A and B are shown apart, each in its own frame.
Chain A
Amino acid sequence: GAGVSQSPRYKVAKRGQDVALRCDPISGHVSLFWYQQALGQGPEFLTYFQNEAQLDKSGLPSDRFFAERPEGSVSTLKIQRTQQEDSAVYLCASSLSRQETQYFGPGTRLLVL
């Protein structure tokens, strides 16, 4: 079956621009996680959704980061006024429930110039 998909795969933004990153989870997966992976590092947790409810946003680095999942399926991570330190791969993962195995998408590589 289809796995987690993310778009765009690559995004170049000028400093100060807003960007929106999309995640399509596996069909039927209730739980959705966003992670940020800096170059040469492991992924770091950003935020968690259970259906449409954002239950945990403790990992969001600043109020410039905003995520939503309005219908409990597709999720969008928005970064406002991008900064160079936002350059990273943004990974989305979904799971049947919060305690089940997380399946990762290929990520969106964001480069802020």
Chain B
Amino acid sequence: QQQVKQSPQSLIVQKGGISIINCAYENTAFDYFPWYQQFPGKGPALLIAIRPDVSEKKEGRFTISFNKSAKQFSLHIMDSQPGDSATYFCAASKQTGANNLFFGTGTRLTVIP
């Protein structure tokens, strides 16, 4: 079964706009929630990550919002740029345990100039 659910499947945003991708999880044992960015022909690269003891983490134009009670987390990309066009995956793991990453199904983001 899908441990992490991700939406939308695809997203088109104008340059300068805000891109929002949402994820939900079931396993309350998860304690690490990273977001990965993947360009065609490349492996996933860590973008930003959060742990459940904080509700928000910001790094440059990228922000993760985390809602522990709802078991949901989201990625916000501010001032989206054409270079942000890629596939984004949310993931979750028990970092204090096995740390095997459970990925969402991915969101293909296209930023239009």
Tell me whether B105 and A45 are in contact (CB under 8 A).
no
Chain B residues touching A, majority SS: loop
Tell me whether A41 and B105 are in contact (CB under 8 A).
yes
Chain A residues touching B, majority SS: loop
Distance in angstroms from B106 CB to nearest chain A CB is 5
Tell me whether A42 and B41 are in contact (CB under 8 A).
no
The docked-state distance in angstroms from the alpha carbon of A48 to that of B36 is 19
B62 within 8 A of A: no
Tell me whether B43 and A106 are in contact (CB under 8 A).
yes
Asked, given contacts A42-B89, A48-B98, A106-B41, whether A101 binds B46 with beta carbons under 8 Å apart, the answer is yes
Find B43's partner among A40, A45, A101, A104 (CB 8 Å cutoff).
A104
A7 within 8 A of B: no
Tell me whether A42 and B100 are in contact (CB under 8 A).
no
Q: Mark A18-34, 1 if CB is under 8 A from B, else 0.
A: 00000000000000010
Tell me whether B103 and A42 are in contact (CB under 8 A).
yes
Distance in angstroms from A91 CB to nearest chain B CB is 6
Q: Name the interface size band of chain B.
A: 20 to 34
The docked-state distance in angstroms from the alpha carbon of A48 to that of B92 is 16
Q: Name the interface size band of chain A.
A: 20 to 34
Find B44's partner among A43, A44, A59 (CB 8 Å cutoff).
A43
Tell me whether A102 and B98 are in contact (CB under 8 A).
no
Tell me whether A40 and B105 are in contact (CB under 8 A).
yes
Tell me whether B96 and A42 are in contact (CB under 8 A).
no
Tell me whether A45 and B96 are in contact (CB under 8 A).
no
B91 within 8 A of A: yes
The docked-state distance in angstroms from the alpha carbon of A106 to that of B44 is 8
Given contacts A40-B106, A43-B101, A59-B100, 9 further A-B contacts (CB under 8 A): A40-B105, A43-B89, A43-B103, A48-B98, A56-B100, A91-B43, A98-B99, A103-B45, A104-B43
Query: Which 6 pairs of residues, A with B, have the shortest CB-CB distance?
Result: A42-B103, A104-B43, A45-B100, A104-B44, A106-B43, A42-B89
